[in-house]
Each structure stands twice: as structure tokens, then as C-alpha cells.
Amino acid sequence: FSVIFAINSGGLITFSLLGSRVVGRRGSAWLLRRGLVGTATASMAALVVTVAHASLGALLVCFFALLCANGIVLPNGTASAMAAGGGALGSASALLGLGQFGSGALVAPLVGLAGSRDALPMAIVIAAAGTAALLVDLLFAPREAPVPSRAES
């Protein structure tokens, strides 16, 4: 378990660092959208692997891809949310934390609906959350103007 945890953590950290190198050129909204596409894709792949009763290795690959995508989503989602906070950054931060922990508390019991021997509820919750996050971004996120390149400034 600890080796798998370390590998997944390495993927999350690596993609966070890669995102930090790109955000200045493309902007956080652009990166967030690409990360959400990765999250939705990896979460749906995890559902397919679970339904197909594929190997644990295949599921671990899906989880690794999911965590790599989250390395892009988490910092850029927070940056995008805080950018809209204006002069009330403390309130924006509090609402962001409430949303994250509140939704986690509401969704966590759904994973255990079928007991501890079936991974299907977990895969369904992950796929639903990953897909819903992308749909919310596509439908409701304001379009950010492209970041000017250094040659233009």
C-alpha cells in the first residue's frame, strides 16, 4: 500500500509542478479545464475497469491518472475560485472549504452502500463526481481571456 501511495503522490506532485510552469502562459482556467477533462476521463475509465472486473493493476493505473489530473485541478480550481472572491477572500476561502468538506461528508456514505467487498459504488461515485465537475465547468465557468504571451507584453 505504501509503495502505491508514494507513486500516486509522486504523480500528483509532478503534475502540480508541471502546471505551475504552464499557468503563467495559459492561465488557471485553461489548465483547470484540461485537468477536469483528465479527471472525467480517468474516473470513467475506473468505472469501466470496475464493471469489467479487470485486474487490480488496471484500476491502479486509472487511479494514478486520476491523481495526476487532480494535480492540475486542485491548485487551478482554488486559484479560479479565489480570483472571483474580490475583496472578500476570507469569505471565499471559507465557502470553498465548506463546499469541499461538506460535499465529501455527503458523498462518503454512498461509497459504502454495497459493503466493503464491492468496488462498484466507489467507481460510480468517482465517475459521477469527475463527470459532474467537468460539466459544471463547461456550463457555468466564465471564459477567461487568454494570457498574453511575453512577446506581446
Compute CA distances 142 → 19, 82, 115, whole Å. 20, 14, 40
pTM over 0.75: yes
Q: Is the pLDDT of residue 73 over 60?
A: yes
Residue 42, pLDDT > 60, answer yes
Whether 120 contacts 50, CB under 8 Å? yes
- Give 93-133 as a DSSP string: HHHHHHHHHHHHHHHHHHHTTT-TT--HHHHHHHHHHHHHH
Question: Whole-number mean pLDDT of the chain?
Answer: 88
Lookup: cell for 14: 509532478
Secondary element (H or E) of residue 142: none
In this prediction, residue 150 carries a pLDDT of: 57
- Of the given ranges (63-72, 88-97, 144-153), which has the lowest mean pLDDT? 144-153
**What is the DSSP code string of 30-66?**
HHHHHHHHHHHHHHHHHHHHHHTT--HHHHHHHHHHH
